[in-house]
Amino acid sequence: MNHHETAPLPRIATLDCARGIAILGILLLNISAFGLPKAAYLNPAYLGIPAVRDVWTWALLDLFVQAKFLAMFALLFGAGLQLVLHRGTVWVRARLSWLVLFGLGHAIFLWDGDILLAYGLVGLVCWRMIREAKDAFTLLKTGAVLYLIGVAVLLLLGLISHGEPSSFWLPSAAELQYEKLWKLQGGLEAWERRLDLLSSNLLAIGAQYGWQLAGLMLFGAGLVRSGWLRNRYSPAYYLRQAAWLIPLSLLIQLPGVALQWHLNWDYRWSSFLLQVPRELGASLQMMGYLALIYGFWPAFSRTRISHWLAQVGRMALSNYLLQTLICTTLFYRFGLYQQFDRLQLLAFVPLVWLVNLLFSNLWLHYFSQGPMEWLWRRLTALAASEQAHQKTK
């Protein structure tokens, strides 16, 4: 067995379960990105004054879901980078390069809400920083600083922006009609449009979001090194952390949510300035959620659902792409796009979750890896072997 085909490390069940929860939690927000125009994702007033139930749904999702599960997934991605460092430079670089290619394909041909490309690109920068860091504290400190730089850039963008709303925030009727047309029609028109959106997303990653993503990845790697994510502390310790992290995060975010509602989602305030308290609170809240999982793990690990969630986490890439396939089929191929409001769309979420859970458990009953995980591993091994072969020539 060569260096690039070394046996995988033993699974950390708590990490797998947390990753499964993150993947399922992300869908609570993504479902509105599938079923409604892009503008609806952050702005419930994109069509004018929204219905009260739509506002309450937005407010509760903003407080408890928005950015939390994405942040958790990014943190766990960084934890994964720390755990695969032993495979060496060539293998890690090949693995992340393939993730970039998967993300490109996903973003152009399937859905414009892709996160894989960003994770792959930022991961290619971060893994070296993780490898070179001398200890856990260095990673945690650097991660926190990078995250805060990203939040500071967001604040700066709000301060220098002018009051005119962009089409992303307040699209015209014609723009909404065109968005519906290319999403339902698909084909070349949709690919070209997604490519346009991808270029603006890459700018956002480079200018602002990439800082936060890098910070979360480094923080996750630091938490693995410190033992926090390896479940090395007592359940009481984790529960004490959750008991102050979650209330503090809600205290930080609540005024921002109330102000957005009060200001009728004014463009400058709601798209920039009032995102800041959410981004600050989300990182604390996500840590609180993780602390709850770890704190209750001794009891939770004895339940069947914990095993099912861990199976979803083991197949995170396959399940993420499966969510895209299910939702694009429902909303774009079957024409359910813009047929439901924010609250009604949430009814689809448990159904997709059920498919994720059943698919993961059935697949892993017969195979040791998810289908995309197997493909990713095989392509990584081939690329790494090829690079190693080139070097020895």
Q: Is residue 341 part of a domain?
A: yes
Provide the pLDDT for residue 268: 86
pLDDT at 340: 96
In a domain, 388, yes or no: no
The phi, psi pair for 341, rounded to 5°, reads: -90, 180
Q: Mean pLDDT for each consecutive 10-residue tract of the chain (393 residues)?
A: 47 93 96 95 91 95 96 97 93 96 96 95 96 95 97 91 79 93 94 92 90 98 97 96 98 96 91 93 97 96 96 97 98 95 97 98 96 96 77 62
pLDDT in the model for residue 6: 46
Q: Is residue 145 part of a domain?
A: yes
Residue 393 lies in a domain: no
* 37: phi then psi, degrees, rounded to nearest 5: -60, 160
- Predicted pLDDT of residue 364: 97
Query: Residue 284 falls within a domain, yes or no?
Result: yes
Residue 315: domain span: 3-383
Mention every residue, 6+ apart, whose C-beta is less than 8 A from residue 323: 23, 27, 30, 352, 356
Q: What is the pLDDT, as a whole number, of residue 7?
A: 46
pLDDT value at residue 388: 63
Give Dmax (Cα) for the chain: 68
Q: How many CA atoms lie within 13 A of 150 on its CB side?
A: 23
- Whole-number Å distance between alpha carbons of 95 and 185: 34
Query: What pLDDT score does 158 carry?
Result: 87
For residue 392, tell me if it sits in a domain. Answer: no
| Helix boundaries (H) for the chain | 13-35, 52-64, 68-84, 89-105, 116-132, 136-160, 173-185, 187-204, 210-226, 235-262, 267-268, 275-295, 297-300, 304-314, 316-328, 342-345, 348-366, 371-392
- Number of separate domains in the chain: 1
The residue to which tokens 């095989």 are assigned:
378
Give the separation between CA 100 and CA 82, rounded to whole angstroms.
19
Does 389 fall in a domain? no
Confirm whether 261 is domain-assigned. yes
pLDDT value of position 386? 74
CA dihedral of residues 299, 304, 310, 311 (deg, nearest 10)? 170
| DSSP per-residue string spanning 78-134 | HHHHHHHGGG-HHHHHHHHHHHHHHHHHIIIII-TT--HHHHHHHHHHHHHHHHH--
Residue 256 one-letter amino acid: G
